[in-house]
Amino acid sequence: MLKVDYARWGQSPEDLRHLSMSAAHERTRERFLALYEIALGSYPTQLAKRTTRHYQTLMQWVRNYNKNGPESQVFCHTGGRPPFCKKSRMPSAER
């Protein structure tokens, strides 16, 4: 069974809970809350059903945390479609 290795990073489940409430981005908060619940004994498959996330996504969050620490859970926008029209080229409403 996959476990959250919070002791490796000098943290406790309460630290994960605190991070889930104080993180700047909602996805980061979601990840820390999932880690907190798994650290308390929730199964990733059951948690996935409650949160409508795929269980492999939750397990990947645990693996990343165990390998790279809490910094690996911070959300960073990495892609997506570029805007259709850049703001600098948009027609001005004042004209």
At residue 87, the pLDDT reads 65
CB atoms within 10 A of CB 52: 6
At residue 39, the pLDDT reads 95
At residue 81, the pLDDT reads 80
* DSSP assignment of the chain: -----GGGGT--HHHHHHHHHH-SSHHHHHHHHHHHHHHTT--HHHHHHHHT--HHHHHHHHHHHHHH-GGGGS------PPPSS-GGGSPPTT-
- How far CA 48 is from CA of 42, 80, 90, in Å, comes to 10, 24, 42
At residue 2, the pLDDT reads 83
- pTM of this prediction? 0.79
At residue 93, the pLDDT reads 57
Block means of pLDDT (10 residues each) for the chain, 95 residues, are 91 95 95 96 93 94 96 87 68 55
Domain ranges of the chain: 6-73
